[in-house]
Structure 1
Amino acid sequence: MPAKTDHEARRRDVSAAVWRVLAAAGFGGLTLRAVAAEMGATTGLVTHYFPSKKALIVHALELAESHTRELVPATDGVHGLEALRQALAAVLPLSPEGTEINRVWVSSWDAALADPELHALEKARYKRWRSRLHPLVVEAQTDGSLPPGDPADLVAGLAAFTHGLVVQALFDPRAFSHKRLAALLDTHLDALRPTGSVQ
């Protein structure tokens, strides 16, 4: 029987292969056979860790969320609107890694809309994202950088705006360059400032 460390190392190898397949072919190309081929292994080895395609997809979504969190900068010492801006910018495809992660997420939507379990996982993921943005919006409202009102509505609007930029940039990266994406986000946040607030 393989040692626990060997088992964990092999699982990490399978996870890395899952991510490479996702990055290259999206969720439509994610199969047990494709992951095995990427590893130069048998499908039996892959099914030892992920017994079905559903298990593989659930793991892939977990990987995507983990990779996304790694892109979010620490906000120690950053507050209010600037902390919110950094959190939103981390979601945009402003780097090769960010672009790769967003391509994976967008490719997952079809599967998530069609499958109740995956749908529930995606719904929960969006709820977690909004929960992370919520205190940043409240802080910006408290210091006068954002208008008063229901912070949940502001969070929903900002999340929708940011993901709208993501989709447009994925389909037309030349028109939505990294510089333009950052500028559009800044312009949108500035437009939300109450009249007379300090820049």
Structure 2
Amino acid sequence: MPAKTDHDARRRDVSAAVWKVVAADGFGGLTLRAVAAAMGGSTGLVTHYFPSKQALVLHALEVAEQRTQALVPDTTDLRTALIAVLPLTAETTELNRVWVSSWDVALADPQLAALEQARYRRWRTRLKPLVIQAQNDGDLITGDAMDLAAGLAAFTHGLVVQALVDPRTFGRKRLELLLDAHLTALRPRR
């Protein structure tokens, strides 16, 4: 009689291997063979849970989304939300490496591009009430809240890219200083 397999545990093992490969080698390095090697298993085992590279990519993006949501706190403070997405820890650096790597595959695949568009729309929508609160508190200029949210999302993601490609120049203190300077520049003149 064959040994009983805990499919949920096995799927978690495969999922962890997918994340390990993407975090180390980006989506360009994500292959069935690489995932199998990362978990010390066979490609047959991987394809049992993820039948194609597309399935691996979609799963990796789901995991990245879950990890991102867990890292960004529920807050009413705009700065806190923006700081949470910057690569200030090993965990947020790894997560940002995955997201930036995903842009390449999203540019080449309409389904993945649609997922990325939706993700950014959710982020801007999440920032909008924080922008409105900052405006109401007098900490942010008046104007269209969604446009300000889009600008802040773009600014912080620009900082992410700078920190990933040049971490010595864009370390934690500098990232926080640059974000604070940007938020200060967006305060109303008194």
Alignment TM class, shorter chain as reference = over 0.9
What is aligned with 2:72? 72
What is aligned with 2:103? 109
- Is 1:42 the counterpart of 2:42 in the alignment? yes
- Is 1:136 the counterpart of 2:130 in the alignment? yes
Distance 2:78 2:11 in 1: 35
- Is 1:151 the counterpart of 2:145 in the alignment? yes
- The CA deviation at 1:2 is 7.8
What is aligned with 1:127? 121
* Partner amino acid, structure 1, of 2:169: A
* Partner amino acid, structure 2, of 1:135: P
* Partner amino acid, structure 1, of 2:61: L
How far does the alpha carbon of each residue in 1:160-183 deviate from its partner, in whole angstroms, 9 at most, with x for none?
Answer: 100111111111111101110011
- Is 1:165 the counterpart of 2:159 in the alignment? yes
Distance 2:155 2:62 in 1: 24
How far does the alpha carbon of each residue in 1:17-57 deviate from its partner, in whole angstroms, 9 at most, with x for none?
Answer: 11111111110100011001111111111111111100110
TM-score, length basis structure 1? 0.91
Distance 1:40 1:191 in 2: 52
**1:54-93 map, 5 Å:** 54-75=54-75, 79=76, 83-93=77-87
The structure-2 alpha-carbon separation of the partners of 1:53 and 1:141, relative to structure 1 and needing over 3 Å to count, comes to same
Distance 1:184 1:147 in 2: 18
- The CA deviation at 1:3 is 6.6
Tell me how many residue pairs correspond in the alignment: 189
CA RMSD, Structure 1 to Structure 2 (Å): 1.5
Runs of 4+ that moved beyond 4 A: 1-4
Tell me the SS of whatever aligns to 1:166.
helix
Distance 2:145 2:73 in 1: 22
